[in-house]
Amino acid sequence: MQRNKYKEYFNSIAESRIGYRKSKSYYWDSITKYCNYFLHDESSVLEIGCGTGELIHEVKGSRKVGIDSARS
């Protein structure tokens, strides 16, 4: 039952998440740069809890998969 509450919550904020991330781009850009430091263009990347997928879209890698239980 508690699991459904979490799922409903994250589904409800998914659309506003992109705008929120853009408003804090200085932080998210530094996270992306940090991840890219360890990755190469031919890397495989799995992101669990990827949300709307902005990070996995921006990091290096030729094979990238994002998994999230939210509908976004």
Domain ranges of the chain: 2-67
Q: Which residue has the higher pLDDT, 46 or 1?
A: 46
pTM exceeds 0.85 for this model: no
Q: What is the pLDDT of residue 63?
A: 97
Q: What is the pLDDT of residue 71?
A: 66
Residues 24-71: tens digit of each pLDDT:
889 989 999 999 999 999 999 999 988 888 999 999 999 999 998 876
Pair 60, 37: CB distance under 8 Å: no
DSSP 43: -
Rounded average pLDDT over 2-19: 80
CA–CA distance, 45 with 58 (Å, rounded to integer): 11
CA–CA distance, 49 with 62 (Å, rounded to integer): 19
